[in-house]
Structures are given as C-alpha cells and as structure tokens.
C-alpha cells in the first residue's frame, strides 16, 4: 500500500499489488480562469469567440448555388428538347437573373 492507495496485501487478489497512476485523469483547474486569461492577438486561440465568416468562402458558396441551379435548368431544357442555341440563350438569361437576385440580397 502506498499513500493509502492500493491493496494492503496482494494475497488472494489475483494481482501483484502494484498500483499505478491513471494517466488519462484530467485534474480540474484550481486557478481562476478569468484572471489567468489575457487579451488575444489576432489569429491566436479564439475558442469561445465567434468569428466573422470569410468573404471568399461566402462568395464561393453563392456562385456554387447559382451554378447548381443552372445545371438543373439545363437538364430540364435538354429533357424538353430545346436546341443548343436556345439552351445557351436561356442559360445566359437565367445566369444574369440569378446573379442580380443574389447581388441584391
């Protein structure tokens, strides 16, 4: 037995009586987190702070949404039997309309 931990005697326990520390136990912090935290520089750990979305990613998602709608429209026009020139015209009109609607939002 070491520091009051473990078996008094390993006899009959089926073990050798060796006690180990639990390496995966995380001890709770005792210091005050509010006083310990300091101001964060930019691009440092911002775990609890919400960040503004990246404009490039939002722009990419907007363009991707327009492209998906145009692909669906093109498939419908092909199924309906439109000629390639008519499909190209309607796609260009739809693209302008979708970009204008997206820009106004």
Beta bridge mates, 2: 5
Contact 74, 87 (CB under 8 A): yes
On whether the CB atoms of residues 91 and 73 are closer than 8 A, the answer is yes
61-71 pLDDT, tens digit per residue, is 999 999 999 99
Which residue did the predictor score with more confidence, 81 or 31? 81
Residue 61: per-residue pLDDT? 94
Residue 32: per-residue pLDDT: 61
Neighbours of 4 (CB within 10 A): 5
pLDDT interval class at 73 (50, 70, 90): very high
Residue 70 φ then ψ, to 5°: -70, -35
Instruction: Check residue 34 and give its pLDDT.
Output: 55
C-alpha distance from residue 93 to each of 20, 26, 60, 96, 97 (Å)? 73, 61, 21, 5, 6
pLDDT of residue 14: 74
Tell me the domain boundaries of the chain. 53-104
pLDDT at 12: 74
Q: Tens digits of per-residue pLDDT, 1-54?
A: 566 666 777 777 777 777 777 888 888 877 665 555 555 555 555 566 677 889
């Amino acid at each position: 037995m070491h520091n009051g931990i473990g078996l008094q005697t390993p006899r009959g326990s089926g073990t050798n009586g060796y006690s180990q520390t639990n390496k995966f136990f995380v001890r709770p912090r005792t210091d005050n987190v509010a006083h310990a935290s300091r101001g964060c520089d930019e691009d440092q750990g911002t775990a609890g702070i919400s960040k503004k979305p990246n404009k490039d990613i939002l722009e990419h998602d907007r363009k991707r949404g327009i492209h998906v709608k145009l692909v669906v429209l093109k498939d419908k026009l092909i199924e309906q039997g439109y000629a390639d020139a008519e499909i190209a015209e309607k796609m260009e009109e739809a693209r302008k309309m979708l970009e204008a609607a997206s820009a106004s939002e």
